[in-house]
């Protein structure tokens, strides 16, 4: 059974523990600017919304990559960037319609959520269970994806 | 490690910006943030200097834990000499600014001199520059925040800014960061504006590393978070009701100062309480509270995110106040509410928005308005002074008017902006000022809570609850319950709280953790993050060293043991109602013992022996 | 079923792989005319700066990749096609028959009609072979003239600068990347390059190139200036590889004309990638985009239709991302805006930051960004989903940086946020 990150924004307090956990796992330092998950703040509305790659089946980033640097981890379903192969051309960053692949100018490769190989640090660090890692069927993620992508052409194979 | 070991020094007079390594010997002795920056200030400035002159320096500083995964570790402090009190000032703030500064690579930013023209400091990692702020001068903190964000095209630039109040010389101006978090007390914003520095904007993407022992660190920080989550106050009360969880509690124990401390219980307390913030308004079907929020890294999340009813007179036809913003903390609800006798939740929330919009300390503002209201009722201030406004206790209109003119530095607001002490002196009734060393009281009446009276009297930055929060013990039973009406043992209690708090404020974490954490919980987290052995015992010594250093600064600035006192009203006029009925504060029973446990003379001067024991 | 694909670039390779997935029993032949395994032109600049070896440019890293998928690769050039007999004539191989044919022959650099363009020392930067030549000739201190500051010209700037050559860029347009960015952005990129020591002439043409002393060249500009050059790189644009289709009956214009199934006027022949005049999402018109994501999309959709799985191509958003000596810029869709549409702009020349959003009613139709690397893809998402932004259009006009918030506010219909944001 594949698992997915379930995000419930109404539980998020904007503490950014997830961003610290993510960046520490990926970069070895606490550095929210390098986090693969991001909290977006809606100040006037009083809301915080965590958002990261949904590991969408369309895999726009993977298909746009000219050098096969993004591959599917069969165990987790995550689309993972292989740093050694990525040349840093950034085509995936403009191809991902969700804006969840980012170019890192310091490392000169792109970065995205890889589900930490199946044990996502963000979910473990979240103090309010706004981010949980659950069976995909129960996550509501499909609905989220469907809604987010409803107008995108379903032209993938 | 955990420190970045880098200090940024900005000379505003000549525009030079230099970097230097952090003095690690001092870091070992004073930990960071409050303690370490105070050490720098002590070494680099003359305590007798005019706080608003270029001779004073202002230090923005993070702690070694700031920016790490320790819960609440996003704090920074502003250390300078206070123009309100003449004492050392150290104001601490949350939000995201502190973490950004640490991520940019700085333990400390030292601001010296005075810029010939309005400027703001922009820091992007190791690049720092002073940029013109002529177009920002005269703008509110909120407008300035918006304009700087637009200029740098990055919503993640974190900005600390002063408002119009500070520019106009209001002595209790704050520095607001992230729109509604504030280095609030003692007029640190006034100092910043006196340097023609409108804002400090930071983007940091370098990361915080250098964790001394990562395995121990994650274990210790996890343990710490668990303690916070399982504690009734930090795990339930604060997330649900914020600090406003205290409004009804403090009113019941007869320690809620009301109408400028004339009374100790407020008949309208329940209407402005944390519980009231959850009630759905009839008018628009929404509650005052939208949600709770967290500062950077905080797993408690006590922030209030609130709205004011769009049709309420305070914000009607002013859409800039219709969205969510920082809501009422207990201190603000008290100062703008019961201390002014106002029980209109929307009005108090709106007044609080105004304080954030122009970066003003709502405690000092509310308490000064309360003093003005008493002066008005006593006939010392008249409508001639106010330009027609009847400054009566209980009047929400008067509260909003007084708030607005003060935060914008207009008309009578300039007099209010001098604070309660100067206002009451000017109008010939100095005894009506509820201040210690010129700083207004927070929300606990020392007649109903005896120990906090001693904490106020001896606080190094004037009346303040955050320098030794004995309320935790005397009311909430943390770490153990003491009788709020007793004076026995309070000297030792106050010292213990003062020293422990100095450590908390120097580490980069929030004082509210101490509702659940003792130094036994905190020390292992510092120890795992920082080089060397940071036991609870060592931390306590560091705390006492910091406290005594601050005391020495104040003594050198001319503030002596004679200033360790409370207003006559609190020492002589007994509480009229509640559990403390008939009691005044018995400071005289506690103060000599306090000096003794501190190892100070009867005049309140640290002895040579004490200084040498602490390595001062 | 026998599928034949002409062209082994991204479009052809993705088409072959897609066909294998959806038509497992078919025979698939992929024909390419370059000696190397299928590689990516997008990766060439990184090869030039030695970030990757030649293998790093290969589209697929495993040498057995195509064999494992039972995709036959033929290294040859197709000389003509014969739709009547459903066959191809190759230069060196026997005639190949097909059931379905995909034309994915890409494009080639054009040679501007300038005297002296045939002199030695003038190279384009298009193939791995071109890359090797440039690497060999661009020695430290040598004078290099780059003709054209379009997309290709700009992405190789850094590699040339890193080789410490004296670099001069000549661009006919009034700014850099004129087909990708507006005046503000194009001039921002120009000033960035100049700051980095590159001499940039815009609104300038090369009149002629002549032989100088020794191996050097003289580049004559229309402003009268004459530049000495050890190496001239021509990057003045590309054109579709359609010459070999002359006389085949296949309709072409800028590229092969197709319908919204990427099918040409001849039923069994499809086209994809740079050679294909496909549908543009923003204009609804058919044009050659010549960009990597479009090539990938075309390859997939053409393959689906070749395999009999009817798939409509909604049109590709024209978009580009460019790294010009460390300054990152991108543009999407109708970045120049539309008549009567509103726009939102933020510009900070000192810090090389620019963001411009264009709207039609409350839908974003185009965008440009300089200095933005975070969440840029959402600009594509906002454009391609034709998301009705509602009040968020006004928010964006006030603060264009809130693109992610605008997207989330309008799509995250989960939890009670749905009614709030």
Whichever domain contains B175, its CATH number is: 3.60.9.10
CA distance C349 to C187: 9
Which residues of chain C make contact with B145, given a CB cutoff of 8 A? none
Range of the domain at B145: 6-203
- ipTM at complex level: 0.95
Q: Which tokens sit at C103?
A: 């034309």
Inspect the interface and report whether the beta carbons of A99 and C417 lie closer than 8 Å. no
- Residue-level pLDDT at C159: 83
Evaluate whether residue B233 is within a structural domain: no
pTM of the model: 0.94
For residue B479, is the peptide bond before it cis, meaning its omega torsion is within 30 degrees of 0? yes
The CA distance from A74 to the nearest CA of chain B, in Å, is 30
| Interface contacts A/C by beta carbons within 8 Å | 184
B178 sits in the region (left: phi over 0; alpha: psi -120 to 50; else beta) called left
> What pLDDT digit, counting tens, does each position of A139-157 carry?
555 555 555 544 444 443 3
Evaluate whether residue B252 is within a structural domain: no
CA distance C233 to C237: 12
Evaluate whether residue B295 is within a structural domain: yes
CATH of the domain at B308: 1.10.569.10
B538's CB contacts (< 8 A; 6+ apart) are: B523
B291's CB contacts (< 8 A; 6+ apart) are: A10, A13, A46, A47, B305
> What pLDDT digit, counting tens, does each position of C34-79 carry?
988 989 988 988 988 888 999 999 999 898 999 999 999 999 999 9
Same domain, B379 and B449: no
Q: Which of helix, strand or coil describes residue C405?
A: helix
Task: Please determine, for residue C362, whether its predicted confidence score (pLDDT) is greater than 60.
Answer: yes
Last residue of a domain, one of B203, B220, B250: B203
Report the alpha-carbon angle B371-B372-B374, nearest 5: 65
- Residue-level pLDDT at C383: 96
> What pLDDT digit, counting tens, does each position of A86-112 carry?
999 999 999 999 999 999 999 999 999
- Residue-level pLDDT at A151: 45
Same domain, B334 and B367: yes
8 A C-beta contact, residue C149 and residue C169: yes
Place of tokens 């006590």: B302
Total of domains in chain B: 3
CA distance B315 to A17: 35
B374's CB contacts (< 8 A; 6+ apart) are: B259, B260, B262, B393, B432
Same domain, B423 and B484: no
Task: Please determine, for residue B382, whether its predicted confidence score (pLDDT) is greater than 90.
Answer: yes
CA distance A45 to C266: 56
Task: Please determine, for residue C175, whether its predicted confidence score (pLDDT) is greater than 50.
Answer: yes
Place of tokens 């004076």: B487
B461's CB contacts (< 8 A; 6+ apart) are: B82, B85, B87, B88, B89, B90, B185, B186, B437, B439, B467
Determine the distance from the C-alpha atom of residue A4 to the mean position of all C-alpha atoms in its chain, rounded to a whole number.
Answer: 10
> What pLDDT digit, counting tens, does each position of C309-325 carry?
999 999 999 999 999 99
The CA distance from A12 to the nearest CA of chain C, in Å, is 11
C376/B contact by beta carbon, under 8 A: no
A122's CB contacts (< 8 A; 6+ apart) are: A5, A18, A19, A21, A22, A37, A50, A52, A131
Which residues of chain C make contact with A32, given a CB cutoff of 8 A? none
Answer yes or no: same fold for A1-52+117-152 and A55-112.
yes
Same domain, B183 and B295: no
Which residues of chain A make contact with B299, given a CB cutoff of 8 A? 15, 17, 127
Quickly state the pLDDT bin for C413 (edges 50, 70, 90). Answer: very low
Determine the distance from the C-alpha atom of residue C38 to the mean position of all C-alpha atoms in its chain, rounded to a whole number.
Answer: 17
Q: Which tokens sit at B609?
A: 């022996």
Q: Which residues of B touch A (CB under 8 A)?
A: 67-69, 71, 96, 99, 103, 155-156, 179, 204-209, 225, 229, 290-299, 301, 303, 305-307, 323-325
Last residue of a domain, one of B381, B403, B433: B433
Q: Which of helix, strand or coil describes residue A55?
A: coil
Same domain, B509 and B399: no
Evaluate whether residue B33 is within a structural domain: yes
Same domain, B374 and B352: yes
**In this structure, what is the dihedral angle of CA atoms B287, B288, B291, B294, given to the nearest 10 degrees?**
-170
For chain B, what percent of residues have pLDDT higher than 70? 100
- For B439, other C-beta atoms within 10 Å of its C-beta total 30
Q: Which of helix, strand or coil describes residue A96?
A: coil
Report the alpha-carbon angle C404-C407-C410, nearest 5: 145
CATH of the domain at B546: 1.10.599.10
Q: Which tokens sit at B210?
A: 């250098």
Q: Show the 3-state SS of B15-83.
A: CEEEEEECCHHHHHHHCCHHHHHHHHHHHHCCCCCCCCCCCCCEEEEECCCCCCCCCCCCCEEEEEECC
- Residue-level pLDDT at A153: 46
Residue of A25, A33, A48, A128 to mutate when probing chain B, most B C-beta within 10 A? A33
Report DSSP state, residue C71.
E
Among 3.10.130.10, 3.90.25.10, 3.30.70.20, 3.40.50.620, what is the CATH number of A55-112? Answer: 3.30.70.20
- Residue-level pLDDT at B380: 98
8 A C-beta contact, residue B26 and residue B20: no
Q: Which among A104, A147, A151 has CB closest to C386?
A: A151
- Residue-level pLDDT at C417: 33
**Interstrand relation of A38-42 and A47-51 (parallel, antiparallel or unpaired):** antiparallel
Domain spanning A1-52+117-152, CATH class: alpha beta
Same domain, B384 and B457: no
| Interface contacts B/C by beta carbons within 8 Å | 22
Average pLDDT on B334-348 reads: 98
Residue of C399, C400, C407, C419 to mutate when probing chain B, most B C-beta within 10 A? C399
Closest to B329 (Cα-Cα) out of B240, B241, B248: B241
Residues across chain C: 421
Locate the domains of chain A by residue range. Answer: 1-52+117-152, 55-112
Evaluate whether residue B249 is within a structural domain: no
DSSP string over B265-324: --TTGGGGSHHHHHSBPTTTS-BSEEEEE--TT-SS--EEEE---TTSTTTTT-GGGSS-
Evaluate whether residue B228 is within a structural domain: no
Same domain, B340 and B450: no
Inspect the interface and report whether the beta carbons of B229 and A15 lie closer than 8 Å. no
Q: Dihedrals φ, ψ of C333, to 5°? A: 55, -135
Same domain, B303 and B348: yes
Evaluate whether residue B69 is within a structural domain: yes
B485's CB contacts (< 8 A; 6+ apart) are: B448, B450, B579, B580, B583
Inspect the interface and report whether the beta carbons of B153 and C402 lie closer than 8 Å. no
Inspect the interface and report whether the beta carbons of B297 and A17 lie closer than 8 Å. yes
CA distance to C6, C24, C99, per residue, from C1 (Å): 16, 10, 6
Task: Say if residue B493 is exposed, middle or buried (CB neighbours under 10 Å; 0-12, 13-18, 19+).
Answer: buried
- Residue-level pLDDT at C421: 34
The structural domains of chain C, ordered by start, are: 2-108+238-306 (3.50.50.60), 122-234 (3.50.50.60), 326-417 (3.30.390.30)
Evaluate whether residue B246 is within a structural domain: no
Task: Please determine, for residue C415, whether its predicted confidence score (pLDDT) is greater than 50.
Answer: no
């Amino acid at each position: 059974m594949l698992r997915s990150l379930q995000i419930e924004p109404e539980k998020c307090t904007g503490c950014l523990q997830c961003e610290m956990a993510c960046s520490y796992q990926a970069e070895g330092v606490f550095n929210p600017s390098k986090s693969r998950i991001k909290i977006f703040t809606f100040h006037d509305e009083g809301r915080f919304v965590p958002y990261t790659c949904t590991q969408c089946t369309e895999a726009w980033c993977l298909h746009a990559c000219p050098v096969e640097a993004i591959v599917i981890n069969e165990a987790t379903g995550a689309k993972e960037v292989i740093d050694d192969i990525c040349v840093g051309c950034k085509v995936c960053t403009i191809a991902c319609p969700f804006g969840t692949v980012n170019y890192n100018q310091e490392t000169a490769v792109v970065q995205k959520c890889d589900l930490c190989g199946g044990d996502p640090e963000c979910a473990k660090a979240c103090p309010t269970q706004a981010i949980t890692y659950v069976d995909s069927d129960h996550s509501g993620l499909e609905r989220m994806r469907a809604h987010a992508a409803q107008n995108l052409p379903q032209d993938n194979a | 490690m955990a420190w970045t070991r880098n200090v940024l020094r900005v000379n505003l007079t000549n525009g030079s910006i230099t970097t230097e390594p952090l003095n690690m010997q001092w870091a070992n002795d004073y930990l960071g943030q409050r303690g370490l920056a105070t050490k720098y200030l002590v070494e680099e400035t003359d305590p007798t200097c005019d706080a608003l002159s270029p001779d004073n320096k202002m230090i923005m500083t993070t702690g070694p834990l700031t920016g790490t995964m320790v819960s609440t570790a996003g704090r920074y402090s502003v250390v300078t000499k206070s123009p309100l009190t003449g004492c050392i000032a150290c104001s601490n703030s949350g939000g995201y600014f502190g973490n950004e500064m640490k991520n940019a690579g700085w333990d400390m930013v030292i601001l010296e001199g005075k810029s010939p023209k309005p400027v703001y400091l922009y820091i992007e990692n190791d690049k720092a520059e002073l940029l013109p702020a002529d177009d920002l001068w005269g703008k509110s903190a909120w407008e300035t925040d918006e304009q700087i964000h637009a200029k740098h095209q990055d919503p993640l630039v974190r900005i600390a800014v002063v408002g119009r109040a500070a520019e106009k010389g209001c002595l209790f101006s704050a520095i607001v960061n992230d729109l509604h978090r504030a280095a609030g007390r003692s007029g640190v914003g006034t100092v910043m504006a006196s340097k023609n520095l409108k804002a400090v904007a930071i983007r940091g993407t370098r990361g915080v590393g250098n964790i001394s022992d990562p395995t121990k660190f994650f274990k210790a920080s996890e343990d710490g978070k668990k303690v916070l989550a399982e504690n009734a106050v930090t795990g339930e009360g604060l997330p649900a009701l914020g600090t406003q969880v205290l409004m009804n509690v403090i009113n019941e124990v007869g320690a809620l100062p009301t109408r400028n401390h004339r009374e100790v219980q407020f008949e309208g307390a329940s209407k402005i309480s944390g519980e009231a913030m959850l009630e759905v308004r009839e008018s628009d079907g929404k509650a005052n509270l939208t949600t709770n929020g967290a500062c950077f890294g905080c797993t408690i999340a006590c922030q209030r995110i609130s709205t004011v009813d769009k049709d309420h007179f305070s914000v009607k036809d002013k859409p800039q106040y219709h969205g969510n913003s920082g809501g009422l903390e207990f201190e603000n609800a008290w100062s703008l509410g019961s201390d002014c006798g106002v029980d209109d939740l929307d009005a108090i929330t709106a007044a609080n928005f105004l304080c954030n919009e122009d970066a003003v300390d709502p405690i000092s503002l509310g308490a000064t308005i309360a003093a003005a209201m008493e002066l008005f009722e006593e006939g010392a201030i008249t409508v001639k002074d106010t330009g027609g406004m009847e400054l009566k206790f209980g009047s929400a209109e008067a509260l909003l008017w007084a708030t607005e003119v003060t935060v914008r530095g207009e008309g009578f607001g300039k007099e209010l902006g001098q604070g309660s002490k100067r206002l009451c002196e000017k109008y010939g009734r100095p005894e009506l000022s509820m201040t210690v060393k010129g700083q207004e009281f927070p929300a606990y009446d020392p007649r109903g809570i005896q120990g906090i009276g001693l904490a106020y009297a001896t606080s190094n930055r004037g009346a303040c609850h955050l320098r030794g929060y004995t309320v935790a013990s005397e009311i909430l039973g943390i770490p153990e319950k003491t009788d709020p009406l007793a004076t026995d043992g309070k000297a030792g209690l106050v010292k213990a709280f003062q020293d422990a708090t100095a450590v908390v404020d120097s580490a980069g974490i929030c004082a509210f953790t101490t509702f659940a954490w003792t130094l036994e919980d905190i020390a292992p987290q510092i120890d795992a993050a920082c080089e060397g052995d940071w036991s609870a015992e060592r931390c306590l010594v560091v705390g006492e060293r910091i406290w005594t250093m601050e005391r020495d600064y104040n003594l050198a600035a001319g503030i002596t043991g004679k200033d360790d006192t409370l207003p006559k009203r609190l020492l002589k006029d007994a509480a009229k109602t509640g559990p403390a009925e008939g009691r005044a504060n018995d400071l005289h029973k506690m103060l000599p013992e306090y000096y003794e446990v501190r190892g100070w003379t009867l005049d309140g001067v640290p002895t040579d022996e004490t200084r040498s024991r602490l390595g001062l | 079923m026998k599928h034949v694909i002409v062209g082994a670039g991204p479009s052809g390779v993705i088409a072959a792989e897609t066909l294998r997935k959806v038509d497992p029993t078919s025979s698939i032949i992929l024909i390419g005319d370059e000696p190397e395994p299928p590689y990516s032109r997008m990766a060439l600049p990184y090869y030039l700066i030695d970030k990757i070896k030649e293998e790093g440019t290969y589209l697929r890293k495993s040498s057995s990749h195509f064999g494992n998928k039972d995709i036959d690769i033929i290294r040859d050039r197709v000389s003509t096609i014969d739709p009547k007999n459903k066959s191809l004539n190759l230069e060196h191989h026997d005639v190949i028959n097909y059931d379905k044919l995909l034309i994915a022959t890409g494009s080639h650099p054009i040679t501007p009609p300038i005297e002296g363009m045939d002199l030695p020392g003038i190279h384009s930067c298009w193939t791995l072979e071109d890359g090797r030549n440039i690497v060999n000739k661009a020695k430290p201190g040598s004078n290099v003239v780059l003709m054209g500051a379009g997309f290709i010209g700009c992405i190789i700037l850094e590699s040339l600068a890193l080789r410490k050559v004296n670099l001069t860029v000549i661009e006919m347009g009034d700014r850099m990347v004129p087909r990708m960015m507006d005046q503000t952005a194009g001039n921002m990129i120009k000033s960035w390059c100049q700051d980095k020591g590159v001499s940039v002439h815009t609104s300038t043409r090369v009149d002629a190139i002549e032989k100088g002393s020794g191996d050097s060249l003289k580049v004559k500009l229309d402003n009268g200036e004459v530049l000495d050059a050890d190496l001239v790189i021509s990057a003045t644009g590309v054109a579709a590889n359609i010459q070999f289709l002359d006389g085949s009956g296949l309709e072409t214009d800028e590229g092969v004309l197709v319908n919204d199934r990427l099918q040409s006027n001849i039923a069994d022949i499809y086209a994809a990638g740079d050679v294909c005049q496909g549908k543009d999402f923003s204009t609804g018109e058919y044009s050659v985009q010549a960009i990597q994501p479009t090539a990938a999309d075309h390859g997939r959709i053409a393959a689906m239709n070749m395999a009999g799985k009817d798939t409509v191509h909604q049109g590709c958003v024209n978009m580009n991302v460019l790294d010009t000596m460390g300054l990152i810029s991108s543009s999407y869709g109708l970045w120049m805006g539309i008549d009567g549409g509103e726009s939102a702009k933020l510009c900070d020349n000192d810090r090389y930051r620019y963001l411009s959003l264009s709207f039609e009613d409350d839908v974003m139709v185009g965008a440009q960004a300089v200095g933005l690397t975070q969440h840029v893809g959402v600009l594509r998402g906002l454009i391609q989903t034709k998301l009705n932004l509602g009040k968020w259009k006004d928010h964006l006009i006030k603060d264009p940086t809130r693109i992610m918030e605008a997207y989330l506010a309008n799509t995250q219909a989960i939890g009670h946020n749905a009614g709030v944001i």
